[in-house]
Amino acid sequence: METTSDEQIVERALAGDADAFGEIVRRWERRIFALTYGILGREEDARDATQETFIAAFRNLSGFRGDAKVSSWLHRIAVNQCITRQRRAKVRGETSLEGAAEDNGAQFAAPLHESPARIVEGCERTEAVRRAVSALPPELREVLVLKEFEELTFQEIADTLHVPLSTVKSRLYTALKQLRLRLEKFSPEAAHV
């Protein structure tokens, strides 16, 4: 059975197929949510940004020219939605990833043989990584999330962010270096996560 490409589905949607765009949403909503959560750090914000991403994509469907892949187009819209939310939050004096562990209850499933001390240590390490990522400048955090969490190639990131390939590589290098330094401040062991 041949799989229909995202681009073919967009063509169907543009031709008036009412169900076609829903197929794009079903294919991409988990990945886009993971991306927005990685950037924003709060589940509620990530859900809203994901929904806004697909609304914006639907409204601008006729603007999709096929210059890039549908995935790159959706990632770009999602990143823009996150940037907009972060700007609004900054104006309102909110924080993005700060307190995310408290908001989400910081409950991690741990094997039964794990000691309470090791569970707490793991939670502390996760929180240290979360805080270190949230402290990165937005342009570095975006590249880091797209590469390390979304596992996009350098070229896909360049296409998504509309920046040169060399810029993506230098931003990732800088992001990883800053992340390592921030984690070393928390604990030398956490820097090797």
Domain ranges of the chain: 1-95, 108-193
- Say if domain 1-95 classifies as CATH 1.10.1740.10: yes
Domain 108-193 in this protein, CATH class: mainly alpha
Mapped onto helix, strand or coil, the DSSP state of residue 16 is coil
**Model pLDDT, residue 100:** 41
Q: Which two tokens stand for residue 115?
A: 């000691």
Residues 82-113: pLDDT tens digits? 888 887 777 666 544 444 444 443 333 444 45
Q: In the predicted model, what is the mean pLDDT of residues 58-67?
A: 82
Are 140 and 132 a contacting pair, CB within 8 Å? no
pLDDT tens digits for range 158-190 = 888 888 999 999 999 998 898 888 888 766 554
Angle at CA of residue 70, ends 42 and 50, nearest 5°: 20
Q: How far apart are CA 152 and CA 134, in angstroms?
A: 20
Check pLDDT > 80 for residue 31: yes
Confidence of residue 64 (pLDDT cuts 50, 70, 90): confident
